Amino acid sequence: MAAYFHRRAWLTRISVLIAALALAACHDNGASAKPSANQNPSANQNPSSMQPVATAVAAASASAQHSLQMWVRYPQPNTSLSPMAALGKQIFFDTSLSASGKVACSTCHDPNHAYGPPNGLAAQLGGEDMQHQGTRAVPSLRYMGFTPKFTRHYAVPDADGVEDEGPTGGFTHDGEVDSLHEQAKIPLLNVNEMANKDAAAVSTKLRAAKYADQFTKLFGADIFSKPEKALEQATAALEAFETEDSSFQPYTSKFDAVMVGNADFTPEELRGYVLFNNPLKGNCTKCHIDSPGPGGRPAQFTDFGFEAVGVPRNLEIAANHDPKYFDLGLCGPTRKDLAKETNFCGMFKTPTVRNTAMRQVFFHNGRFHNLEDTLRFYVERDTAPQKWYADKNGKVVQYDDMPAKYRDNIDHVNAPFNRKKGDVPAMNGDEIRDMIAFLKTLDDGYSQHSGAKQGN
Ligand code: HEC
Ligand code: HEC
């Protein structure tokens, strides 16, 4: 209840802030922040790692900057890992578990890059010979803790009853798996990644690993004679590491420091923040929610929902050289169970934008390599499509990474996607620069402790 009260109070403040800035800028007045009702339950939350440590209570203040303070409860850093998680940590960094001997989870999910890709490749190379290219960009593994289980119809209570937010949740870009241990099997066995033939191949490698003793101590002396069980335990250990280790949810960004009242946005960052929240401009918070959740849960910058954004086809991905191949997210071909639900074709999961400014590849197919192009695409997708889509025989093929019959699934309702050819884009060049300044405040590493002052 307390959290609810503070959230509403904050929404009122942000509305005032938007209105003030909008009036000052002499356009878009009357804008008011729409409360983002889409707050998901913490299906996969590990309670032990979510104890409140820093509680920032919104203080009444005359200054616009201080009015940004919110009531947020940051998780207590874990000082020691359970034996299971400590084992998972060794597995995560172990290249000997791949057929090539060169790839570990950490090769693609680099802890120095917020557990995202260390390079600008649209999709990484792996497999036995390290020449097999994947078909999707590597997501960051930070802030996965509140990912709800996948559902086709996510119901959110609102003033009129219940609103269907559509498909939501699950792991990977298409939400195919509901738990981190199920997910971990995919790279271990995928021919483009760690390329183990089967559970027996993984088990043989685990038996030879330097932590084999710890493995038998936890799971029994005969564990390696039961390969399916050994694989299950290895993936459970990975899940424990990804859930317990504080490096997966540090909340050490400048944004968090501002929320606690330990830092102020610069004028550029503040303008970007307001654009992020303005439903007529960036409208980013509609999907990348930037307000605290129930119980003071820190903003996750995603609602875990699925959208067809219509990202252009990326020929850096070899599979896309086959004109008949389309990665349609929810409806396949990677995911198989929703192939008949063609109204979901082209939809991908909304990623968190925490640490997005560190990335060198954006969207599920890594089509863009910097934030400026990513954001210009967002606002010019429909106003100037010729800049973003390939043309065929002199005709621009808008939404060229989806077969024509599914293009109705593309979002045209929410700003910044609600424009037509020739319209003024939802944001201009200066506004995009301000937005990037704000997005940079979401990079972890500003402080050492959640929400603390710079460097502390
Ligand atoms: C060769 C690169 C590569 C390796 C190695 C790799 N991954 Fe990934 N990972 C990816 C890609 C690409 C995706 C997105 C897959 C998709 O959408 O189909 C992904 C997705 C994930 C996700 C889903 C994240 C989310 O928020 O939905 C998790 C969790 C994950 N990987 C964990 C691991 C673990 C654990 C390992 C080691 C056992 C591992 N990965 C090894 C490339 C890799
Ligand atoms: C209607 C929902 C929606 C809105 C509004 C929205 N996004 Fe997104 N965003 C998504 C989805 C879905 C994806 C993933 C699309 C894909 O991979 O095909 C995404 C991806 C991104 C990415 C790439 C992140 C990565 O890890 O690859 C960035 C950056 C981003 N959005 C920023 C923004 C900003 C800034 C705004 C406001 C200008 C915004 N988004 C508005 C749904 C939305």
Burial of 190 (0-12, 13-18, 19+ CB in 10 A): middle
How far does the centroid of ligand 1 lie from the alpha carbon of residue 138, in Å?
Answer: 6
Q: Which of 124, 125, 138 to mutate to test the pocket of ligand 1 (most atoms within 8 A of CB)?
A: 138
Considering only CA atoms, which residue is closest to atom 29 of ligand 1? 180
DSSP 8-class letter at 246:
G
Could you read off the pLDDT of 181-221 as tens digits, one per residue?
999 999 999 999 999 999 999 999 999 999 999 999 999 99
Among 87, 91, 141, 189, say which to mutate for ligand 1: greatest number of ligand atoms within 8 Å of CB.
141
Distance CA 257, CA 277 (A): 19
What is the rounded distance in angstroms from the CA atom of residue 159 to the CA atom of residue 438?
31
Bridge partner residues of 75 (DSSP): 52
| CA of residue 351 to ligand 2 center, whole Å | 7
pLDDT in tens, 313-369: 999 999 999 999 999 999 999 999 999 999 999 999 999 999 999 999 999 999 999
Mutate to test the pocket of ligand 2, among 121, 277, 307 (most ligand atoms within 8 A of CB): 307
In angstroms, the CA 62 to CA 95 distance is: 55
What value does the mean pLDDT of the chain take?
Answer: 88
Q: What is each CA distance from 76 to 151, 232, 404, 408, in whole angstroms?
A: 30, 29, 49, 45
Burial class (CB in 10 A: 0-12, 13-18, 19+), 365: buried
Under a CB-based contact definition with an 8 Å cutoff, are residues 69 and 260 in contact?
yes
Instruction: Output the ligand 2 site: residues, CB below 6 A.
Output: 282-284, 286-288, 307, 309, 311, 348, 350-351, 353, 356, 359, 362-364, 374-375, 378, 411, 414, 416, 435
Phi and psi of 53, rounded to 5°? Answer: -120, -55
Q: Is any ligand 1 atom within 6 A of the Cβ of residue 293? A: no
Q: Kindly give the distance from the C-alpha atom of residue 97 to the centroid of ligand 1, in angstroms, as a whole number.
A: 15
Cβ 372 vs Cβ 379: under 8 Å? no
Q: Is 175 in the pocket of ligand 1 (CB under 6 A)?
A: no
Q: Which residues contact 410 (CB under 8 A, 6 or more apart)?
A: 308, 309, 310, 346, 399, 402, 417
What is this structure's pTM?
0.90
Looking at the DSSP assignment, which residues form a beta bridge with residue 179? Answer: none
| 46-74 average pLDDT score | 52
Residue with tokens 């005032």: 16
CA distance 202 to 282: 46
Band the pLDDT of 43: cuts 50, 70, 90.
very low
Q: Kindly state the average pLDDT of the residues 295-308.
A: 97
The DSSP code for 391 is E
Give the tokens for residue 247.
């490096």
> Mean of the pLDDT values across residues 253-268?
97
How many A from CA of 350 to the centre of ligand 2? 6
With bands split at pLDDT 50, 70 and 90, how would you rate the model's confidence at 140? very high
Give all domains of the chain, ordered by start, each with its CATH number.
Answer: 83-136+173-244 (1.10.760.10)
Kindly give the residue spans of alpha helices, DSSP state H, lying in 220-351. 227-244, 254-260, 267-277
Pairing of strands 155-158, 132-133: unpaired
More confident residue, 267 or 68: 267
Phi-psi region of 424 (alpha: psi -120 to 50; beta: other; left: phi over 0): beta
